[in-house]
Amino acid sequence: MGFSFIYEIFMKYLRKFNKTMVKTYWFAYWRGTNRRLSYNIGALFIFIYGIHLVRTNGITTGEFIAFILLYFQTMHVLTSVVSAITEQRVLMHQAEKLYQFLKQTPAVQEVKNPIELANVQGNISLKHVSFAYSDESAILNHVNLHIQAGEKVAIVGESGGGKTTILKLLGRFYDPIKGEITLDGVPIHKLSFPALRENLGFVFQETYLFGTTVKENILFGKPHATEDEMIEAAKAANAHTFIEGLPNGYDTLLGERGVKLSGGQKQRISIARMFIKNPPILLLDEATSALDNVSEKEVQSALERLMRGRTTITIAHRLSTIMDYDKIVLLDKGRIVESGTYETLVKQRQQFFELAMSSRKVGESI
């Protein structure tokens, strides 16, 4: 039944596409037909009238032939010009959006004279931060949050509450519309993009792998790392064993987006990237939510090893993975409504307690 439903949807859009293409080719061929028809009808009238003039001694045969040659040459040039103009208009219409995109100015600009941070400790502060995407309602409302160096902080809450948005603001993919974010006391908008992002390590729910070798995917975190460093990073990420079992080991081609690997294997390679990059700040966005139980345990073990000694901000998916965190922050409609350790929040028996109870009923997920 499911296959039939998908097949019907596919055929519906395929028929719609076919009708559009038939209409496109019909207009294209009709345009060419009209052009050639007018071209040849004109030639027919010239022949009829020219023969009449030759018979009545209006023009000589040589003049008639010369005019015929001139007519065909001129019409050939005009046809080429019209075709070129038509094709150019089509191409310009197709390229217009690309041209507009290339002319866009990024909303987030790098400062001209950035402040240099020699040794990033990992102290992060959000001070009265508010943010909204375009003209939408505010995603974050006056968020205040301080994270000390080496602290593990989990952000929980319902979907659409602004959890992932905080990570995007920390990486300066967007700038807050109000408030300020600081790193070791320095506003992040005063840092250069490399200085900021080289100190951040992102592990997302959906890992992106390039269609190249395992080795090159891991070295993406630190291109000039040695082979020994790469292998140590893979071992720390619980990835070395399965990599050795691949047809060509670290030289195995993964295919586009790592299509040859399972979800857990892809995630462990992304963690190996972070080990080899060795950033002082780690940002985890539901890194284990899409994995089965066995893969999740392996990935979680690697993540716990990765988090040691680093400032870690995690968007939590399962309560069992954040029970030992230094701080849990509950976001609700863009505001921090509760903050504290797991035990403290449960004892308060407020909104986090209700969320914890409901999550257990649906399999320990938030």
Residue 313: closest CA among 297, 323, 330, 325: 325
How far, rounded to the nearest angstrom, does the alpha carbon of residue 142 sit from its chain's CA centroid?
Answer: 27
Bridge partner list, 281: 200, 311
Kind and range of the H or E run holding 131 = strand 124-131
Q: For 9-21, what is each residue's pLDDT tens digit?
A: 888 899 999 998 8
User: Which positions of the chain have pLDDT values less than 70?
Assistant: 1-3, 287-296, 359-366
Return d(Cα 235, Cα 239) in angstroms, integer: 6
| pLDDT for the residue numbered 319 | 74
d(CA 312, CA 167): 11
Tokens representing 129?
């931060």
Residue ranges per structural domain of the chain:
2-102, 124-361
Burial of 185 by CB count in 10 Å (0-12 exposed, 13-18 middle, 19+ buried)? Answer: exposed
Closest C-alpha to 177, from 134, 145, 113: 134
> pTM for this structure?
0.70
pLDDT for position 223: 87
What is residue 213's DSSP assignment? B
User: Cβ distance 131 to 137 under 8 Å?
Assistant: no
pLDDT at 291: 60
∠ at Cα 26 (22, 31), nearest 5°?
155
**Alpha helix ranges (H) inside 220-361:** 227-236, 240-244, 263-277, 293-307, 342-348, 351-361
What gap in Å lies between CA 68 and CA 66, rounded to an integer?
Answer: 5
Task: For residue 233, give Cα distances in angstroms to 201, 228, 272.
Answer: 14, 9, 5
The alpha helices in 56-107, defined as continuous H runs, are 61-102
Under 8 Å between Cβ of 332 and 355 = no
**CATH architecture type of domain 124-361:** 3-Layer(aba) Sandwich (3.40)
DSSP state of 267: H
The helix/strand/coil state of 328 is strand
What CA–CA distance (Å, rounded) separates 97 from 298? Answer: 45
Do residues 233 and 276 touch, judged by C-beta distance below 8 A?
yes
Q: Cα–Cα distance between 106 and 211 in angstroms, integer?
A: 28
pLDDT at 102: 85
Q: Give the count of alpha carbons within 13 A of 157, CB side only.
A: 25
Q: What is the pLDDT of residues 263-305, one digit of tens each?
A: 778 888 888 888 888 889 988 887 666 566 666 677 777 777 7
